[in-house]
Amino acid sequence: METIIVTHSEEKNGIFLSYIENSPFYPDGKGGQLGDRGMIENIPVLACYEKYVQTERFVEPGEHKYSISSERKNDICQQHTAQHIISAAFENVHNIQTVGFRMDENYSTVDLDVPFITQELTDEMEELSNKIVSDAVQVEEILTDIEGSKSFSLRKPLSEKIKESVRLIRIGDFDICACAGYHVSNTSKIGLIKIIDKEKIKGNLTRIYYVAGKRAFKDYRDKNLILKGLSSLLTTSQNTLEKRVSDMIKELKDEKTLIKRISEEYAALFSVSLAEKPLKCGKYNVLVYSKNDAVSGFLGKYIDVGKYVLVIGEEEDYSIATSLFDCKEFFSALQKKYGLRGGGNSSKVSFKGTITVEDILKEISII
């Protein structure tokens, strides 16, 4: 096992940092890529930076054995090489350039310099990307300099300001570009590339989300289990699942419309009987409906708030409506006394907090 030199270590607010001479751990976020994970002796490495790593416990300065997770590195290789292939596919066929890339723990994203792409185009590029994978194309690493790079047709030209050596990644005749990250040695090692989503983002760009390698197979397995579960729950096949859900949503909307209509009709009738038995609180006649349901939303429409104070609510969630006093001022007084959360205007307020209907009636009676 190889060794590293930890020059010094420190603790900052419970976070342990170890500074490493010529650190072999690839930093998180460099080139949009995930960083390495591993061990220093028996202490897990939690995050990696250019000159230091974050560890689970304090690492004494000095020489230590270390290891880097090969499983994580292989996953990064698959995701990163997949990005090269996806970006090259869009540029080679449709001249759509990549302007951003980010690798996450669960998925990766590629930002394309185009305001919109159709699903047909996305499917086409996914198929082309997977053809490159199945063709088992050799992935080469070429070390050169800025002058040497000019002999290659790079997907993205290099800046003339670059003075140091340049590392190029070539995927057969399909793509070549400068990159310092991890890559597979052969595209077949990726296994599968799956574009899982796309969205328009600011600056007239389109962001596509993808998974590759083991992530893609896991994504397929997980979604297949979800579909099987939903099919069983809804007693339908996967082929008719979308229609079944669509029909259920329509039925639900129809039922909600019906409930809303019935609730309003009931509120109109109930308001009459409610107004027959007001509670006398000081100089005010108060009507109380101790629920927050579909009916409560319509009561204010049928109660004369110029004649009554309408109090609606239960379990620390209330509203008060009336034009007999300033509801906003009344709520401000309640807020100071009971520490409530909410707001409204002079004719209606809604609020939450530790207060009961009895407390509210008591406060109304002393206005």
Domain 73-230 has CATH 3.30.980.10: yes
Helix (H), strand (E), coil (C) string for 96-111: CCEEEEEECCCCEEEE
Residue-level pLDDT at 160: 81
Residue-level pLDDT at 1: 75
Residue-level pLDDT at 247: 96
Angle at 287 (CA atoms; ends 284, 291), nearest 5 degrees: 145
CATH 2.40.30.130 residue ranges of the chain are 3-68
CATH number of 261-365: 3.10.310.30
CATH 3.30.980.10 residue ranges of the chain are 73-230
Residues 6 or more apart whose CB falls under 8 angstroms from that of 208 comprise 86, 109, 110, 112, 117, 122, 195, 197, 198
Instruction: State phi, psi for 3 to the nearest 5 degrees.
Output: -125, 160
pTM: 0.76
Q: At residue 270, what is the residue type?
A: F
CATH 3.10.310.30 residue ranges of the chain are 261-365
> Pseudo-torsion of CA 199, 80, 223, 221, nearest 10°?
170
Per-residue pLDDT 10s for the chain (367 aa) are 799 999 999 998 999 999 999 999 999 999 889 999 999 999 999 999 999 999 999 999 999 999 999 999 999 999 999 999 999 999 999 999 999 999 999 999 999 999 999 999 999 999 999 999 999 999 999 999 988 988 899 998 888 878 789 999 999 999 999 999 999 999 999 999 999 999 999 889 999 999 999 999 999 999 999 999 999 999 999 999 999 999 999 999 999 999 999 999 999 999 999 999 999 999 999 999 999 899 999 999 999 999 999 999 988 899 999 999 999 999 999 999 999 999 999 999 999 999 999 999 999 999 8
> Pseudo-torsion of CA 172, 173, 176, 180, nearest 10°?
0
How far apart, in whole angstroms, are the C-alpha atoms of residue 174 and residue 35? 27
Residue-level pLDDT at 158: 87
Quick one: angle between helices 241-275 and 214-233, nearest 10? 60
CATH number of 3-68: 2.40.30.130
Residue-level pLDDT at 31: 86
